[in-house]
């Protein structure tokens, strides 16, 4: 190849008006003195100067507050993030947690209760830990860790199941340990999906090896 093509557009007649919020607080100065923030006056002065200049220019200029390329939709923003990362031995669901924050499902004034559900997989893992090192069998694979958040956001259930477990099995453990009452549906934030087929396995639903789910009232 002889090079990389670039698309160049002449946007010199377009003025981008980016909305700014002036800092309302006081400015901290060396020596402990506190006074009006100089940043506020400078920004206001620059904006006033800009508008004075643009008002005298030709009327062919256009003002816009839309950034080049348009605004990024929530799905596009989430798709650019890594699905999950590992920090200190823990798998953190980046997309799911940020999607919940964007949707406001994390807003709660009370602390969240996190419970590890004693599934057969968890019981087997505990038994292996208690065994002696020399007699301990190989750690089984194909285990999914599901983090399920209830409707009110006050309870989080950590459920470990085999890849071959079904959505019906998952609902059974949720029903046993869920504090809330009433009918519900199981959803995921990214991708946005409802898991209603109780015969589908976790592997078929793409909920392996880790996934963050939340419940919503039906």
User: Measured in whole angstroms, how far is the alpha carbon of residue 83 from the centre of its chain?
Assistant: 10
Which carries the bigger pLDDT value, residue 205 or residue 1? 205
d(CA 36, CA 17): 25
d(CA 160, CA 118): 8
User: Measured in whole angstroms, how far is the alpha carbon of residue 213 from the centre of its chain?
Assistant: 12
Buried b (16+ CB within 10 A) or exposed e, 83-96: ebeeeeeeeebebb
Is the pLDDT reported for residue 66 higher than 70? yes
Q: What percent of the chain has pLDDT over 70?
A: 67
Is the pLDDT reported for residue 108 higher than 50? no
In tens, the pLDDT along 153-190 reads: 788 899 999 999 999 999 999 999 888 788 999 999 87
User: Does the model's pTM come out above 0.85?
Assistant: no
Average pLDDT over every residue of 59-73: 73
Average pLDDT over every residue of 39-56: 51
Is the pLDDT reported for residue 211 higher than 80? yes
Is the pLDDT reported for residue 215 higher than 90? yes
Residue with tokens 């993030």: 81
pLDDT of residue 23: 55
Is the pLDDT reported for residue 40 higher than 70? no
**45 vs 36, 39, 48, 65, 160, CA distance in Å?**
15, 10, 5, 20, 59
Average pLDDT over every residue of 200-216: 93
Average pLDDT over every residue of 70-80: 79
Which carries the bigger pLDDT value, residue 38 or residue 215? 215
Is the pLDDT reported for residue 209 higher than 80? yes
Which of the four pLDDT bands, split at 50, 70 and 90, describes residue 113? Answer: confident
In tens, the pLDDT along 124-144 reads: 877 777 765 555 555 567 899
Is the pLDDT reported for residue 192 higher than 50? yes
């Amino acid at each position: 190849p002889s090079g990389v093509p670039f698309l160049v557009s002449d946007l010199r007649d377009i003025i981008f008006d980016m909305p700014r919020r002036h800092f309302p607080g006081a400015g901290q100065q060396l020596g402990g003195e506190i006074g009006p923030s100089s940043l506020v006056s400078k920004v206001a002065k620059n904006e006033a100067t800009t508008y004075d200049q643009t008002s005298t220019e030709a009327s062919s200029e256009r003002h816009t507050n839309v950034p080049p390329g348009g605004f990024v939709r929530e799905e596009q923003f989430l798709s650019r993030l890594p699905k999950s990362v590992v920090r200190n031995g823990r798998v953190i669901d980046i997309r799911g947690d940020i999607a919940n924050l964007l949707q406001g499902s994390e807003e709660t004034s009370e602390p969240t209760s996190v419970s590890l559900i004693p599934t057969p997989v968890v019981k087997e893992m505990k038994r292996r830990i208690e065994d002696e090192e020399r007699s301990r069998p190989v750690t089984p694979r194909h285990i999914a860790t599901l983090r399920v958040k209830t409707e009110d956001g006050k309870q989080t259930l950590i459920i470990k199941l085999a890849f071959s477990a079904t959505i019906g099995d998952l609902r059974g453990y949720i029903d046993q340990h869920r504090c809330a009452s009433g009918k519900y549906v199981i959803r995921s934030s990214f991708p946005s999906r409802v898991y209603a087929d109780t015969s589908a396995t976790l592997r078929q639903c793409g909920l392996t090896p880790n996934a963050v789910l939340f419940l919503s009232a039906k």
